[in-house]
Chains A and B, each alone.
Chain A
Amino acid sequence: MSFQKHESEHIKKNFKRKLSRTELEILAAEWSEHCSYKSSKIHLRMLPMSGPGVISEKGYDSGVLDVGDGYVVTVHIESHNHPSAVEPFGGAATGVGGVIRDILSTGTRPIAVLDGLRFGNIEKDSHARWLFKNAISGIADYGNCLGIPTIGGEVEFDDCYKNYAIVDVAAIGFGKKENLIKNHANTGDLVVLLGGPTGRDGVGGSQFASDSLESEDRSAVQIPDPFMEKLIIEAVLEARNQKCINAMKDLGGGGLSCAISETADSLGIGIELDVKNVHTRESGLNPNEIMISESQERMLIITNKQKIKKLEQICSKFRIKCSIIGHVTNDKMMHVKNGEKTIGLLPAEFVANAPLLNRKKIKPKYIENLEFEKEFKKLSNYSEILLKLLSSPNIASKHWVYRQYDHEVGIRTVVKPGMDASVLRLDNGKSLAIKIDGNPKQCYINPRQGAIGCFEEACRNVICTGCNPIGMVDHLQFGNPEDPEIFWTFMETLEGITDFAKFLQIPCVGGKVSFYNETPSGPIKPTPIIGVLGLTDKFVFPNVSSSGDSILLIGETKNELGGSEYFEYIHEFIGGKCPAVDFKESKNNMNAVLSLIKNNQVKFVHDCSKGGFGIAISEICIRDNIGCTIELSKISIDKELSVECLLFSESHSRYLLTVKKENLRKVKQFLSSKNINFGILGKFTDDQIIINYISKPIIRLRVDKAHKKWYSRLGELITQA
């Protein structure tokens, strides 16, 4: 437990008396970076958070979007990096559990989970393999047991995550608008703690997460109990149906300290509670431990004396404990008692609002020379390079991962994991697309453009399914914010995301900031993750590309190999010019693709991202088990490009389209009329990927051979132990 100097002064200024141990513990937990957002809060206000479909209520931990016909979708994103780096199974599992309870808190049923996972180099580092394998098992074990499908996500490997793990989990909820919990409380209402017992696991977890990872503090990692979480979900939803809940919040970072102070502060009430009434896992827990334990699977509910009987009946049906731990007062104080004795009495507003910081930022030195490209040894065997890239762990098929997740339970999953965004059907006949994307390699070279790129990529993926982006969530992960160079990368990222969100008019409906992602070997690369949700009234199933279909590439390809998989995996070079999004081109291309899909003029759309055009076309050939013949010189460019650039540059705003012969003329006319840059590159045919440049053959690769490499690589790496 520690306070920074200005925090101690802030306490001194506000209290004439000396604070008790319990009070200090509560403040330390709630004022940790993890709970208070003290370094980021004043800056996060720049994000556009409202929009026509956004519903906001007091005390919501997740974003709520109106999807019409009386229904809402909820969304939230969280990470569990420090715990997963120490104990990957439990850390990753409880990461899933936490974000699901945020969805539940609004009164919606969790219907899907996506996870973004990042580890060290699994080809060389057996510890990274161990973390990877066990984090996957943890997520599978938890999500499968809950019956909430894990419908997608991403997996990436980079040396900057050595001895570390990034485990980001996004969750989606769905429900009727009328069932949303409208958080409110009256004096005399009862404060109830429902769910698993409070134990010593996770004591001080949020402070552990607010420091760089130097020791393996396993007791700060929570123990997962998915069965308890499942019972809580069903009990809470039943209590919601029976209107037993006035207000609700899940217990996460900071445990009871955080849940009580934030609930009281957001509702403008006071709460008096007795720690003796908290049901515990073991005897002998001291009051301070009870206040800051982060034991999982617990919900805080405010109800009244008439409704408590019903709530207790529901809990007894599911055999879960619910304890009345206190009641609502009108003095706006957080009053903690141990039996008769007062052990803490603090204004809730004071606890819930840590003194905020405006940290220094300085452009990092490392960035200065990063954009220069060095001369590489000329490589000429592009077939071999393409094959090697297909087997790069960052590009190879992730089926080894998502086949361990039940991605179909709930029978909503229309587009299953493996391609662009995943799509869920909703009860009102509409379809919801979701994708999360990150790209630390590009964010390292250019934090602003890298972050905008992640955002655009997530949008592109959603667009590929024919859905219109309606909201986004961001998760911003960096090293120590006290380092002005790191803080500069955070600010660049945030400003970039803000600019693009405002331009596209996509509201940010939720997010999280995670600092101190460091190990003794240094900070991680800037790792913002952007999740985008899209909606369509009528989903059009993508078709299979067949012989004779034309291949179109929309968007301009530029000299932007910086941070590409080609530079990093083939040349082991970090640097170069990172792709930048042209806002206008981005929006025009999105609108054009959406329009083509809606009018049934394309059979299939796939976005160009990691690995560039070369990988994107290979992925379609593998998916549809068909070859192609491509002429690279037909690619739309702004100026003369090398073959490497044409094949592997990761320029944004690009989409690969499969177009039937009879639609080709119409599609051409439409794209020309909208001034879209595009090229007709060739046709699908036979069983080989054939790529020519000015009629000279460059690549000739059998699709089955490409498929085998791409499909089996990840599994092979894991089984080698």
Chain B
Amino acid sequence: MKVGVIVFPGSNCDRDMYHVLKDVFKINAEYFWHEKSLPKNIDAVVLPGGFSYGDRLRAGVIAAHSPIIKDVKKLANAGIPILGVCNGFQILVESGLLPGTLLKNESLNFMCNWTTLVVKNNKTPFTNKLKLDQKIPIPIANGEGRFFADKTLMNDLRKNNQIVFSYDDNVNGSIEHIAGICNKEGNVVGMMPHPERATESAINPIDNKPSSLIFESLLDTIGGKN
């Protein structure tokens, strides 16, 4: 099994994600520079957080046009699990792989906080070992993380069970406290909080188990393909 971690110019959580995949969960992870292509037999792809292209124009919008996104789209259509975290989520939205939009936080400031997520869909490759409504202590760190969708889209999201995570509290003004969503098929998941920052007890002062289950879900999904 192999998981690709895509590196865009300005990605800055790529090494954190790689460390967690490789050292904590013993997954065979590999970096892919955004101008390279992705192998067809890859088992999952992660778009890590950061400030691709310095967040110029709008977070994620330039990276969404990187050459590698073509391959990401192909893999997404083939049902391969794809996870976008923070800036990775913004890139997935800008590239059209996920619906909706991410606006500036209600405070208009960058926010680095610990918060609590609630699991709303445990059928995705990244949540299948979590229980419905299970709570996850997890940090957020973003300036443009307020999810927004219009009425029609919200209806679709609810109907298709596309809301994956919501915040327990109103953290940043996201509509219905949404923190993470997936595509209709469920294999492409985007989330603003950082699971890679919460899986190790050495740096997670609260409880590292629930966020570890995000990676264990992935391991469970792709583990058989060794």
Q: Contact residues of A with B, CB < 8 Å?
A: 140-141, 144-147, 225-227, 230-231, 317-319, 402-414, 416, 425, 541
What residue of chain A has the Cβ atom nearest to residue B139's Cβ?
A: A408
Chain A: minimal CB distance from B107 (Å)? 9
25 A-B pairs with C-beta separation under 8 A: A140-B110, A144-B143, A145-B54, A147-B13, A226-B51, A227-B10, A227-B54, A227-B56, A230-B51, A230-B54, A317-B33, A318-B9, A404-B110, A405-B110, A405-B112, A407-B112, A408-B141, A408-B194, A409-B12, A409-B49, A410-B15, A410-B16, A411-B19, A411-B203, A413-B203
Q: Is the CB of B197 within 8 A of A411?
A: yes
Given contacts A145-B54, A226-B54, A409-B141, contact A403 B13 (CB under 8 A): no
Given contacts A145-B51, A227-B56, A231-B9, contact A414 B203 (CB under 8 A): yes
Q: Is the CB of A408 within 8 A of B197?
A: yes
B202 within 8 A of A: yes
Chain B: minimal CB distance from A601 (Å)? 21
Chain A: minimal CB distance from B32 (Å)? 13
Chain B residues lying within 8 Å of A413, measured Cβ to Cβ, are 203
CA distance A225 to B51 in the complex (A): 12
Chain B residues lying within 8 Å of A146, measured Cβ to Cβ, are 12
Q: Is the CB of A406 within 8 A of B200?
A: no
A319-B9, A411-B196 given. 13 additional CB < 8 A pairs?
A: A140-B110, A141-B110, A145-B55, A146-B12, A226-B51, A227-B54, A317-B33, A403-B113, A404-B112, A409-B16, A409-B197, A410-B16, A411-B16
CA distance A318 to B33 in the complex (A): 10
Chain A: minimal CB distance from B141 (Å)? 4
Chain B residues lying within 8 Å of A141, measured Cβ to Cβ, are 110
Q: Is the CB of B112 within 8 A of A412?
A: no
- What 0/1 readout, one digit per residue, does chain B (108-124) give for beta carbons within 8 Å of chain A? 01111100000000000
What residue of chain B has the Cβ atom nearest to residue A230's Cβ?
A: B10
CA distance A404 to B109 in the complex (A): 7
Q: Name the 7 nearest CB pairs between A and B, nearest first.
A: A147-B12, A227-B54, A145-B51, A406-B141, A411-B16, A404-B110, A406-B112
B53 within 8 A of A: yes
B50 within 8 A of A: yes
CA distance A63 to B38 in the complex (A): 42
Chain A: minimal CB distance from B79 (Å)? 30
Chain B residues lying within 8 Å of A147, measured Cβ to Cβ, are 12-13, 50-51
CA distance A402 to B10 in the complex (A): 22
Chain B: minimal CB distance from A423 (Å)? 10
Chain A: minimal CB distance from B209 (Å)? 17
- What 0/1 readout, one digit per residue, does chain B (197-209) give for beta carbons within 8 Å of chain A? 1001011010000
CA distance A601 to B7 in the complex (A): 46
Q: Is the CB of A411 within 8 A of B9?
A: no
CA distance A408 to B196 in the complex (A): 11
Q: Is the CB of B203 within 8 A of A425?
A: yes
What residue of chain A has the Cβ atom nearest to residue B194's Cβ?
A: A408
What residue of chain B has the Cβ atom nearest to residue A715's Cβ?
A: B107
Q: Is the CB of B56 within 8 A of A412?
A: no
Chain A residues lying within 8 Å of B55, measured Cβ to Cβ, are 145
Chain A residues lying within 8 Å of B15, measured Cβ to Cβ, are 410
Given contacts A230-B12, A410-B16, contact A403 B112 (CB under 8 A): yes
Chain B residues lying within 8 Å of A226, measured Cβ to Cβ, are 51, 54
CA distance A403 to B114 in the complex (A): 10
What residue of chain A has the Cβ atom nearest to residue B33's Cβ?
A: A317
Chain A residues lying within 8 Å of B54, measured Cβ to Cβ, are 145, 225-227, 230
Chain A residues lying within 8 Å of B50, measured Cβ to Cβ, are 147
- What 0/1 readout, one digit per residue, does chain B (144-183) give for beta carbons within 8 Å of chain A? 0000000000000000000000000000000000000000
Chain A residues lying within 8 Å of B196, measured Cβ to Cβ, are 411
CA distance A146 to B50 in the complex (A): 8
CA distance A411 to B111 in the complex (A): 17
CA distance A144 to B105 in the complex (A): 15
CA distance A413 to B205 in the complex (A): 11
Chain B residues lying within 8 Å of A406, measured Cβ to Cβ, are 110, 112, 141
Chain B residues lying within 8 Å of A231, measured Cβ to Cβ, are 9-10
Chain A residues lying within 8 Å of B205, measured Cβ to Cβ, are 416, 541
CA distance A413 to B194 in the complex (A): 14
What residue of chain B has the Cβ atom nearest to residue A141's Cβ?
A: B110
Chain B: minimal CB distance from A127 (Å)? 21
Q: Is the CB of B202 within 8 A of A425?
A: yes
Q: Is the CB of B51 within 8 A of A403?
A: no
Chain B residues lying within 8 Å of A408, measured Cβ to Cβ, are 112, 139, 141, 194, 197, 203
Given contacts A144-B110, A406-B112, contact A412 B203 (CB under 8 A): yes
Chain B residues lying within 8 Å of A403, measured Cβ to Cβ, are 109, 111-113
Q: Is the CB of A404 within 8 A of B111?
A: yes
Chain A residues lying within 8 Å of B139, measured Cβ to Cβ, are 408
Chain A: minimal CB distance from B142 (Å)? 9
CA distance A141 to B143 in the complex (A): 10
What residue of chain B has the Cβ atom nearest to residue A143's Cβ?
A: B110
Chain A: minimal CB distance from B25 (Å)? 14
Chain A residues lying within 8 Å of B53, measured Cβ to Cβ, are 227
What residue of chain A has the Cβ atom nearest to residue B16's Cβ?
A: A411
Chain A residues lying within 8 Å of B9, measured Cβ to Cβ, are 227, 230-231, 318-319
Chain B residues lying within 8 Å of A409, measured Cβ to Cβ, are 12-13, 16, 49, 141, 197
CA distance A403 to B139 in the complex (A): 11
Chain B residues lying within 8 Å of A140, measured Cβ to Cβ, are 109-110
Chain B: minimal CB distance from A310 (Å)? 16
CA distance A541 to B204 in the complex (A): 11
CA distance A337 to B3 in the complex (A): 52
Chain B residues lying within 8 Å of A412, measured Cβ to Cβ, are 203
CA distance A225 to B9 in the complex (A): 14
CA distance A403 to B143 in the complex (A): 11
Q: Is the CB of B200 within 8 A of A411?
A: yes
Chain B: minimal CB distance from A545 (Å)? 15
CA distance A146 to B15 in the complex (A): 13
Chain B: minimal CB distance from A719 (Å)? 10
Chain B residues lying within 8 Å of A411, measured Cβ to Cβ, are 16, 19-20, 196-197, 200, 203
Q: Is the CB of B110 within 8 A of A227?
A: no
> Which listed residue, B19, B51, B111, B143, touches A227 by the CB 8 Å rule?
B51
Question: Which residues in chain B, 26-83, are within 8 Å of chain A measured between CB atoms?
Answer: 33, 49-51, 53-56
CA distance A145 to B53 in the complex (A): 9
Chain B residues lying within 8 Å of A414, measured Cβ to Cβ, are 202-203
CA distance A411 to B15 in the complex (A): 9
Chain B: minimal CB distance from A544 (Å)? 10
CA distance A480 to B197 in the complex (A): 46
Chain A residues lying within 8 Å of B16, measured Cβ to Cβ, are 409-411
Chain A residues lying within 8 Å of B10, measured Cβ to Cβ, are 145, 227, 230-231
CA distance A141 to B109 in the complex (A): 10
CA distance A408 to B20 in the complex (A): 14
CA distance A145 to B51 in the complex (A): 5
What residue of chain B has the Cβ atom nearest to residue A109's Cβ?
A: B15
What residue of chain B has the Cβ atom nearest to residue A150's Cβ?
A: B112
Chain A residues lying within 8 Å of B109, measured Cβ to Cβ, are 140, 403-404
What residue of chain A has the Cβ atom nearest to residue B113's Cβ?
A: A403
Chain B: minimal CB distance from A417 (Å)? 10
Chain A residues lying within 8 Å of B20, measured Cβ to Cβ, are 411
Chain A residues lying within 8 Å of B13, measured Cβ to Cβ, are 147, 409
Chain A: minimal CB distance from B55 (Å)? 7
Chain A residues lying within 8 Å of B143, measured Cβ to Cβ, are 144
Chain B residues lying within 8 Å of A318, measured Cβ to Cβ, are 9
CA distance A76 to B197 in the complex (A): 27
CA distance A147 to B33 in the complex (A): 18
Chain B residues lying within 8 Å of A541, measured Cβ to Cβ, are 205
Chain B: minimal CB distance from A470 (Å)? 21
What residue of chain A has the Cβ atom nearest to residue B56's Cβ?
A: A227
Chain B: minimal CB distance from A414 (Å)? 6
Chain B: minimal CB distance from A130 (Å)? 16
Chain A residues lying within 8 Å of B19, measured Cβ to Cβ, are 411
CA distance A405 to B142 in the complex (A): 10
